[in-house]
Structure 1
Amino acid sequence: MNQPYAEVIGDPIAQSKSPVIHGFWLEKLGIAGRYDRHRVPLDGLADYLATRRADPNWRGCNVTMPHKLAIIPLLDRLDPLAAKIGAVNTVVREADGSLTGYNTDAPGFLEPLQPLLEQTHLFRMARVLGTGGASRAIVAALAERGFVLVLAGRDPAKAQAMLDELTAQDDHHAIDLAHFAEPTDFAFDDRAQCLDLIVNASPLGMTGQPPLAFDFTHAPPGSVVYDIVTSPLDTPFLKDARAAGLQTLDGLSMLIGQADVAFERFFGMKPPRGFDPELRERLLA
């Protein structure tokens, strides 16, 4: 059928929720287009792009593991944010057939935090757990919004190298992830004008993965706890945060936010976000 289409690529790809999100928005807007999923093995990535580049109906693709880094040398240009982060999760076919790489994880992550970020704070600190690809986008995004970062990983040296690469200040901290597993009696600043985030940017707690060991005595009063895991959506980390009386954000918040940016680049229209509750119901069905 001669209609515009986009897709998500990766290996494996069957678990991706992106077709549900984009398909929902196409339906609501009445756009005669489609959004598919396509399994692309690592050794087939170059051939895939060569074939799609020649198709004027192909608007681009979202990119999941293991291609977020491997796809970069196959593109014609990189958006500055994607270049800084060093990872691409969205490829757009331009009118001349050239391919541009973007990273929508950073704006997608920040989207549900916007009401907080619009406020003025005495101090902003984020404890970011994990040093993988998603963490790179989150670290870059938060550093630009004035957060002091505590980046925790199994290898603190890797965490420090990431901070050195992605941030301009030297007041950030890299520590061992195990530090947060044990209780603390630290006296946190409890002023209401402080913004504290605790972000699980790791796969820990995801279905099939080990749990995330985090003792909530490490959470300052009023912290916002954000888990980017989407399966399960309500992770033990988020349940423990609510039990501690803290506000939480789940992984669908970031997933929908990053899809919003990609959808507009693919199909030229802003998605109808007034239907987010219905979209969430469909994603959870």
Structure 2
Amino acid sequence: MLDERPWILYFPILIGLGYAVLGPTGALIGLAAGMVIHSRTERARSERTERYRVERERLDLRELLIATLRKRLADVEEKVVRTYFVTVTYSHMDVENEDRFHKEIVEFLESGLTPFERKILAEERMTLKQFYHQHLASALLKTCRQQANTSPASFAVCSVETRSNQSRGIAFETWCQQQLQAAGWSVSPTSKSGDQGVDLVITRHGQTGVVQCKLHEKPVGNDAVQQVSAGRPHYRAHFAIVVAKSGYTRSARTLAESNGVELLHPNQLSRYRRSIS
């Protein structure tokens, strides 16, 4: 197009055409037309350059915000993965629970946004939620899934404690069940009414055991040992186990030894084996 050519090419053409048609007056008209075209061309170039600069700057700011938010999440990675484990894994992995997880992460990021970061979002014409889902959510979800599948024991039991008092005991029993199943045991939860002090009944290679799961803040005492020991004959079990993260009192250890009750830490369950003579 004419206005895209260097002015040095179209000025002589316009002046020459004007002179040929109208003489000196036409030449002046051609010169004026050339100057108008040149001015518009330069303005268009300047506008394109400015648009490019603004877009480049916007992209740089977008990358800066992405990197900043990723670092903010990386700094609290353990808490993020723990939130994922509690919100999604314990509650069964589905879209609704993943949405709840993302909502919690967005709320966390929202609480730490600076005015400059809010300005970037305004430039992007996005809410933080939209920005997070477009640039961060997929990678974060992938990381959490990998962590939860690779090393759940390192944070899962602690995660249970973040739940309400009403549900955390059940969640802990469910986690213990999953770990024992991973070790090759068939696991049957007992009914809450008439459970005889037993939470789980486990079987493997003809062996049957009864398990009581205790999620206490303080060391577990004699009661748990007595209850699971009493429940053993009711389920015709070969052995009895108490599982507790908080440890056991000295008295409970002594009583467990005399009654043949095993006292375990939750992290031992996924590798639990037993031989009966």
TM-score, length of structure 2 as denominator length: 0.34
TM-score, length of structure 1 as denominator length: 0.33
Structure possessing the higher radius of gyration over alpha carbons: 2
If each structure's helix is expressed as a fraction of its own residues, which one has the higher value? 2
Higher relative contact order (CA 8 A, sep 6+): 1
